Structures are given as C-alpha cells and as structure tokens.
Structure 1
Amino acid sequence: MLASSASNQTGAAVGATAFPVIGPVGVVAVRQLVTALVLTPIVRPRLRGLRADQWWPILGLVAVFSVMNLSLYAAIDRVGLGLAVTLEFLGPLTVAIAGSRRPLDLGCAVLAGAGVVVLTSPGPTTDVVGIGLALLAATAWGCYILLNRTLGQRLPGLQGTAVASVVTAGAWLPIAIGWFAAHPPTAAALGLAIGCGLLSSIVPYVADLVALRRVPAPLFGTFTSVNPVWAALAGWLLLHQALEAHEWTGIGLIVLSNVVVSVRGFARTPAP
C-alpha cells in the first residue's frame, strides 16, 4: 500500500518535470497511451459482447480518467504537487462521508473544510483557477470511485479498468497527434511522461489489486491518507516546491479527517 502511494506521487512529480516542453496535455496523453499499452496484453480485455449496463460505467470512466488526470496535472502546474493532490483527496473523503448522519463523520467534514481554508489561505494572490482545477480533479476522483465500484460488480478483476483504458487511449490518440504536432516533444520529455504513466498508473493498479486481496477495504482507505504527504515530499525533493507551515497544517487536518472516517469504517467492518 505504501509502495503504491509512493509510486503514484513520484510519477506525478516525474510527469511535472516534462511540463515545460509538452505541457500537462502532453503528459496526460502519453500517460493514457502507456496505461493502455501495458494493461492490454496483461489483462486482455474483451470489448465484444459487453452489455449496455457494462458499457455506460466504462464510458463514464473514460470521461473521468480524462477530466481527473488533465485537471490534476493542470493544477499541479499552477499550485504545486502537494496542494493539488491534497485538494484532490477531498473526492474520496466526500464519498466516504456522503450520506452519513453520524456526528463524528460530519465533524470530520467540517475539519476537512477547515483544512482547505488553512491550506489555500484565500486572499488576493490566491490562484483561484489552480484551486478550482484541483477541486475538479477531486470531483472526478469521487465519480471514479462510484463508477469503479459499479463496474467491479459487473466485470471481473481489472477487465473494466482495462477496457476503459483502451477506450480512453483511443480517444486521446488524435489529441496526442495534434498536440505533439504543435508542441514537438524531446526524447527526454517523452521519457519522463512514459515514466509518469508507469509509476502513476501501472504500479498502483497492480499494487492496489494485490493489497486489496490481503487487507480490508477500510484499512486500505486509511493508508491512502498518506498520499498528500507523499505528494508534498515528492514535490519538495523532485520539483523543489517547499510548503509553508500553514500548508502543512492544512494537509494535516485533511489527512486526519480521512483517517478518522476510515478507522470508523474499519471498526464497523464485521470480523471474517
């Protein structure tokens, strides 16, 4: 679980180093293509014979993959890796809290909201567009969880994710051709984007699948709380994006909110 988180955030930082040459759009395009090229021979997804009730969540994931990755990388380009990933983390936290009337869960929602205020420190110089992009990525991540849950009930293993990756790559191929025609990539930039695809997509997919066979889902959710911390460290080490004290405080409040919600879910999980 820790390896998955570290790989994901390191991949995002590696991809961000290619932004000056190919931009977030170029990195996302390469990431989508790499994901499909690696997953297809491993999973061997079957596109034929899928029912309508299987296709609609797949197409939903195609839209979510595109929006989530593009908005997150554009946010990283504007506000930094640590802040962008922490705000994106509000997506799964919202899904976990939604529908709950327990006072502690609602208190965690308030705590997370306070963390956002502390983290972003609203003012005249606040990058509202960057924050908005990160929150859009959070919304997409929440939708991803719901769609993936639905698809997981209708297709076995990684079949649904692999089919969605293939369709997403097909949708991004003409975008990639047009984008790289206007923004000629260097070999180094392409290598960084490919590394981003492997580290942020393939390694987490496989590691998460293996982890979820061994630990309860709520415990897995608790461990994902380390993502914003990994992102802040990766941003500092690889992108030289240092965070101020109030930003670390905001990250801490949001992470704490998720830990409390996840631990409560773990406590409510019946023993096997």
Structure 2
Amino acid sequence: MAIDSPTANRTPTPAPTSDATPTPTAAGGRRGGLALMLGSGLSNQTGASVAALAFPVIGPVGVVAVRQWVAAAVLVAAGRPRPWRFTGAQWRPVLGLALVFAGMNLSLYAAIERIGLGLAVTLEFLGPLTVALAGARRRVDLVAALAAAGAVAVLTRPTPTTDYPGIGLALLAAVCWACYILLNRTVGARLPGLEGSAAAAALSGALYLPAGVWVLAHHRPTLGALGCALAAGVLSSAVPFLADLLALRRVPAQFFGVFMSVNPVFAALVGLAVLGQRLDAGSWLAIAVIVAANTVAASTAVRVRAAR
C-alpha cells in the first residue's frame, strides 16, 4: 500500500513532493493524530454507507455526481489552482488523474450497490496492495501477496448468490486506485501544493455535469436522497481531506500509510451497523488477511524508500 494514497472513495489527498516525514513532537500530538485518522476512516466509510441509502432513488451515478461536485468545491477552494499556468507536461497527469478519479468512485459505488460496502472496499484495496508489492523483493512480500490472493479467492468463491458483475466493478475500482496512486505521485512532483489535485477534482466534477443533471432531472431526488448524497460528499470528501492534512502534521507518513489498512474493517463494521450487511466468518477472516497483507506491504514500502 502506498503511503501517500487515501481511500479511494474520498477526496484525493495530494501526493507529497518530497520524502520528508513529519516528526511528532509530543505524545499528545501523536494521540491527536491517531484520533484524526480514526475519525477520517470512520467518516469516509460512513459517507459511503450513507451514499448507499440514496441508491434506490438516484442510483450510484447520481450520488457520485453530487459527491464529485462537493469534492471539486472543497479542493478548488483549498488549492486555488491556476490552470492557465500549467504546461503540457503538467496537464497530462492532471487529465489522467481526473479520469481515474471519476471512474474510481463510480465503479466503487456501483460495486457497493451490488455486493455491499465491506466486500467492495476490501477488494478495492488490492489496488494499493499491488502497487506496494510491485517493487518488493523480499520473501515476506511474496508471502503477503500469496496470502492476499488466497483471501480474495475466499471472498469471491462461487456461491448461488455470487454477484460477479459486482466483484468485477470492485476490481475495476482497485485498478483505478492503483493508477490513481501513480498519477497522484506524478502530479505532486510536477505541480506545487494542492493545485494539481484541485484541478483534477474540478475536471472530474465537470465530467459528471451532463450525467448528473440528466439523472437528477429524470429521477427527481427526494429531500432524503439528496441529503444523503450531499452528506456523502461532506463525510467522504471534506472531512477526510481536512482530517488527513491535520493528521499528517502529527504522525509519521509511514504510520499514516499503515493505518490506512484498517479501512476494510471500518467498511465492514459500518456496513453492518448502517446498512445491515452481514458477512460470514470466512469473509471476516479474508478481510483480516488482506488488512495484514496491506500492513506488511506498507511497512516494506517505507523500508525500501528509506534504504534508497
């Protein structure tokens, strides 16, 4: 798992432009950072579960459109991009990031509608896991990869109710997240501050204007559905974005990256509490294995980076 990536269904956190890691100055700061990361993860997954409540009325496309518009508003206000100053070399990864960001959230939300929050988010985490393991050379990384592959086999094992399109959408979200990590690093290296991420979010929101307007015009949202979509945008965009920025000032970046691995557990718990989506014992075990594999991959990525 890359240490500079967020959960895929949240506002994109800008990649760092250097390998500098903030050093916590006090135990209180570390505790505050941990609290912020817990709040960020729970807010993110709660936002996804609230979004699912609006699916019956406006569908995943309508919800994602509203969510993207909220994300664009948050990042443009924070990043204040100046696209007229971008060079061609800067625009190319920004355009790619906008397309990936749009596809990542739609495929994930469509997967959540079909297979549930916990399973969809767990399969999505194969994206950052693959990126982290791609440059790994140690035996423990091979073991982590094999363990994750076995866990995925358990999660996707054929049953009379297996939803293969939903699994495919979750795996597509994983591919998008892997591409997002690589593109976000490039954007962070070529553009200062939040400008690249903000420009990509604005473009992604613009891409959803035609589809979002059409869906909302032909499937008139109720106040409840619209409120859920807006709440999803705030909970999965604004809150995690600000919480992550503050947390990264209090805890080392590698710890932040390892902590991200608990998101599938948060997703499964929130899916159970909010949506009543239950997983069997085998699925819970598989989620635990994938979380452990992500933790190993994140820790290894940090050690490899430090050794360079």
Q: Same fold, TM exceeding 0.5? A: yes
Q: Deviations over 1:120-167 (max 9, x none)?
A: 222453111000000000010111111111101111222111111111
Q: Is the contact between residue 136 and residue 301 of structure 2 (CA under 8 Å) also seen in structure 1?
A: no
Residue 206 of structure 1 is aligned with which of 242, 250, 262? 242
Shift of 1:245: 0.4
Q: Is the contact between residue 12 and residue 200 of structure 1 (CA under 8 Å) also seen in structure 2?
A: yes
Residue 79 of structure 1 is aligned with which of 74, 92, 115? 115
Shift of 1:24: 0.4
Q: Percent identity?
A: 59
TM-score (norm 1): 0.95
Q: Deviations over 1:214-235 (max 9, x none)?
A: 3333221110011000000110
Q: Deviations over 1:143-192 (max 9, x none)?
A: 11111111011112221111111111111111111111221111111111
Secondary structure of 1:22's counterpart equals: helix
Q: Distance in 2 between matches of 1:93 and 1:51?
A: 32
User: Which consecutive unaligned segments of at least 5 residues does structure 1 have?
Assistant: none
1:6 matched to 2:38? The reply is no
Report the counterpart of residue 43 of structure 1 in structure 2. Answer: 79
Shift of 1:268: 5.0
Shift of 1:270: 4.3
Secondary structure of 1:264's counterpart equals: helix
Moved more, 87-96 or 112-121: 112-121
1:164 matched to 2:182? The reply is no
Matches within 5 A, 1:181-220: 181-220=217-256
Q: Which amino acid aligns with 2:124?
A: E
Shift of 1:211: 2.4
Secondary structure of 1:153's counterpart equals: helix
Q: Distance in 2 between matches of 1:62 and 1:6?
A: 25
Q: Distance in 1 between matches of 2:114 and 2:156?
A: 13
Q: Is the contact between residue 108 and residue 261 of structure 1 (CA under 8 Å) also seen in structure 2?
A: yes
Q: CA RMSD in A?
A: 1.5
Q: Distance in 1 between matches of 2:213 and 2:303?
A: 50
Q: Deviations over 1:78-98 (max 9, x none)?
A: 000000000001111111001
Q: Distance in 1 between matches of 2:185 and 2:299?
A: 20
Report the counterpart of residue 56 of structure 2 in structure 1. Answer: 20
Q: Deviations over 1:50-102 (max 9, x none)?
A: 01111111111111111100000000000000000000011111110013221
Q: Which amino acid aligns with 1:119?
A: L
**Number of aligned positions between the proteins:** 271
Q: Distance in 2 between matches of 1:47 and 1:29?
A: 22
Q: Is the contact between residue 93 and residue 183 of structure 2 (CA under 8 Å) also seen in structure 1?
A: yes
Report the counterpart of residue 180 of structure 2 in structure 1. Answer: 144
Q: Distance in 1 between matches of 2:306 and 2:233?
A: 37
Report the counterpart of residue 53 of structure 1 in structure 2. Answer: 89
Q: Distance in 2 between matches of 1:110 and 1:54?
A: 37
Shift of 1:38: 2.5
Q: Distance in 2 between matches of 1:204 and 1:111?
A: 30
Secondary structure of 1:122's counterpart equals: coil
Q: Distance in 1 between matches of 2:84 and 2:163?
A: 45
Shift of 1:267: 4.5
Report the counterpart of residue 16 of structure 2 in structure 1. Answer: none
Q: Is the contact between residue 57 and residue 150 of structure 1 (CA under 8 Å) also seen in structure 2?
A: yes
Report the counterpart of residue 226 of structure 1 in structure 2. Answer: 262
Secondary structure of 2:256's counterpart equals: helix
Secondary structure of 1:136's counterpart equals: helix
TM-score (norm 2): 0.84
